[in-house]
Structure 1
Amino acid sequence: MPSAQDLEAFSQILKTQGLAGGLAFLNEGVPHRYTAIFRFAGLILKNVCLHDAQGQRLPPFLSAMPLNKSLAQFIRPGIPFRTDDSSRDTRFAGHAYEDMMISYHGTALVLADGRLWGTLCHFDFSPMPLRDEAFELLEAVAPVVASFAVDPHG
């Protein structure tokens, strides 16, 4: 369970620095290169905000992608998705995305009415384990992120 201090720190950063600051905060505690918010737009997954630990610009192929080419397609409200290494994960043998996104740890962003809006995730193109505590923090802040991403002015 995330500490009250971590949750309060995240909330304050989100209020003062927006989504970019919130994602940077979450990324500090993980080995993954990227921490991001994506929203579902029909059969397309669109990037809303992305933090790259290497400080690079958003790669064009991460701006929008077919949902069926993303591991985000497996996320549902209350059903997160995690894989440290999709290339060794038997759930993906023979799938087109098997070697695209190697490490993916994501959780649902759900609207107040219960609809799935998007995902909050850590990912990398190399195998990357994620501590349970770091994933629990991701899940704990997801409702706040969902509200803020949809309406940053409250």
Structure 2
Amino acid sequence: MTPPQFHAMLQAEGLSPAMEALNRGVPHRYTGVFQVIESQLINVFLYDKQHQIRPEALAVVALDNSFCQFVLRDGSLLVDNSMHDERLLASSFRGVVVAYHGVPVTDHRGGLYGTLCHFDLVEQGLASAQFELLQAAGGLLYPYLPHGDGRVQNAPQFARTAAG
């Protein structure tokens, strides 16, 4: 899938099908979007290849305990195995979330919404082409996500989030 194909799918089919397609291109079990609200990350969308209910520990995550904090600080975080990354020593998710590849989600002006990430409970790599697609998707998702009051702006009526 290319960024234009992802964007066309978002426009035509909505968030869920586009995120499922984004996840199909990677070995990771999960693809998620987390919105930053004050010092917390709220999981607003989660795709799981195994179609399980979202783990409660992922619903709301303290920013200072998250892997996402490094995405926000550094512009991305690419970790094939969290046990081998010193930045993650203080996180209770280290060794639980093993693979994590994340990028910022921004609005059309570059304002920060949160993070988009592929992650897994086992070690996984991410090909450079898939990372480039993830980066592009981070700049395209904003209109299809809930904004503060939970409304999704400019989304087809059949788009839905895993959180709602």
Q: When the two structures are superposed, what TM-score results if normalisation uses the length of structure 2?
A: 0.82
**1:78–1:108 contact (8 Å) kept in structure 2:** no
Q: Which residue of 1 aligns with 2:79?
A: 83
Find the residue that maps to 2:44 and give its secondary structure.
strand
5 Å-filtered alignment, 1:1-154, equals 6-76=2-72, 79-93=75-89, 95-149=91-145, 150=147, 151-153=152-154
1:104 and 1:29 map into 2 onto residues whose CA distance is 15
Find the residue that maps to 2:72 and give its secondary structure.
coil
Identity of aligned residues (%): 33
**1:107–1:121 contact (8 Å) kept in structure 2:** yes
Higher helix content, 1 or 2 = 1
The CA RMSD over aligned residues, in Å, is 2.0
Task: Return closer, same or farther for 1:65/1:77 CA change in 2, 3 Å cut-off.
Answer: closer
Structure 1: 5+ residue runs without aligned partners? none
What's the offset of the Cα at 1:140? 1.3
Task: Return closer, same or farther for 1:78/1:70 CA change in 2, 3 Å cut-off.
Answer: closer
**2:143–2:154 contact (8 Å) kept in structure 1:** no
Letter of the 1:22 partner, please give it. A
More relative contact order, 1 or 2 (CA 8 Å, 6+ apart): 2
Task: Answer with 21-30 or 84-93: which moved more.
Answer: 84-93
State the aligned residue count: 150
Q: Which residue of 1 aligns with 2:162?
A: none
